[in-house]
Amino acid sequence: MAATVKNFDVLIVGGGVIGLSLAWELALQNAEVCVVDRGQFGKEASWAGAGMIPPGPNKSQWHLATRLEQLEGLCQTLHGRWHPQLLEATGIDSQYQQSGSLHLAFTEEQTAELRAKIERWQALGIDCREIDAKTVADLEPALASRSERFALACCVPEEAQIRNPRHLQALLAACQLAGVDLRPHTEVHAFATDSQRITVTNTDSGTIAADQICICTGCWSGQLARQLGVELPVRPIRGQIALLEGPVGLIKRNVSVGSRYLVPRRDGLVLVGSTEEDVGFEKATTDEAIDGLREFAATVAPETAALQIKSSWSGLRPGTPGRQPILGRLPRYNNAWLATGHFRAGLQLSPATAVVMRSLILGQTPPVETPDLSLGLESGLRS
């Protein structure tokens, strides 16, 4: 293995949307950054998601919000800023748009869950309007024949979406332009430590030295943390998605029913997702799950039953107890950090995660306090 050739300010392990967002944010602060990933950049859960960006509270309402809700509010602002910045820097359009959304409930359980969401959104000042069947049909004609069956419906005008693969391409290009050292197909094999510091990291591309290290490897974060004597409560939860070829404008807004959704793209493609399966690191799609997604889509918007499936795929989300991300310092080490466990919200929370972690790593004051988030290490880790 090659000898150490450079000492970086920060080594980021994991090149998904969290790692690349953090790398770009650090590089904009003139930090020398290296990112390694054992595969291609952005090809795991970051690529596989649907790209929905639910709204969060405005900063004026943060005194009523949990720390996680504050993080969501910060993300809503940052996504709107990052898109034009990345577009100008790279020429890659992630198709970020505030498309709005409909949230629907059929069953008694779904109605109770949605009612609780509406009450919380309204308490936080998020624009959320309960609507009747006629309004559902007027807003989304493809849902008209089913609108009388919804027990409860609401419209959230500020919900946005982004095309994951294009956003990742833009981040990757922006990192290259900012001088980030990007090393795909580079697996971490071991860490060398001295007292409470990680001194070097041994990888496929040689030994890398860095002043600070951040683990951003999603559901694989536990494997790396275990090498450093820390057990993380992070495990893979598979999500499967089907992509339908629809006519442009068939559906205009994100449509959510419980944990499942339809997300329309500008070119007429419609994403239908998603499952939640505790099957370990098994990524294969299943006929049963894809058929179930098609049935769900047809139940909500009957015209989708005639659409062809363009493709289907799955991703492994990093699940944690309480579905809370883990952001902060890795126990036992004063130069090692964690940014993981975002579950279904990795793309949504990525810009705020990058800003918070950049602040912590560089000794700055983060805009969101992490301890109360269960982002906290005291509630999430067993060491």
Question: 293 and 142 in contact (C-beta within 8 Å)?
Answer: no
Instruction: Specify which of 38-52, 177-191, 356-370 reaches the highest per-range mean pLDDT.
Output: 177-191
Query: pTM for the complete prediction?
Result: 0.93
How far apart CA 256 and CA 234 sit, in angstroms, is 26
How far apart CA 292 and CA 344 sit, in angstroms, is 19
How far apart CA 192 and CA 320 sit, in angstroms, is 28
> What is the band of 375 on the pLDDT scale with cuts at 50, 70, 90?
very low
Kindly report the CA angle at 23 between 20 and 26, in degrees rounded to 5? 150
Helix runs in the chain, H state only: 17-27, 45-48, 67-90, 108-123, 133-139, 164-177, 221-227, 287-300, 346-361, 377-380
Q: Could you tell me where the beta strands, DSSP code E, fall in 162-249?
A: 181-183, 188-194, 197-203, 206-215, 235-245
Kindly report the CA angle at 113 between 345 and 346, in degrees rounded to 5? 0
Enter the tokens of residue 122: 């309204």
Question: 325 and 354 in contact (C-beta within 8 Å)?
Answer: no
Q: What would the mean pLDDT of 280-296 be, rounded to a whole number?
A: 96
pLDDT digit string, tens, across residues 83-125: 999 999 999 999 999 999 999 999 999 999 999 999 999 999 9
pLDDT digit string, tens, across residues 181-222: 999 999 999 999 998 999 999 998 889 999 999 999 999 999
Residue 378 has pLDDT above 70, yes or no: no
pLDDT digit string, tens, across residues 241-283: 999 999 999 999 999 999 999 999 999 999 999 999 999 999 9
> If 0-12 CB within 10 Å is exposed, 13-18 middle and 19+ buried, where does residue 238 land?
buried
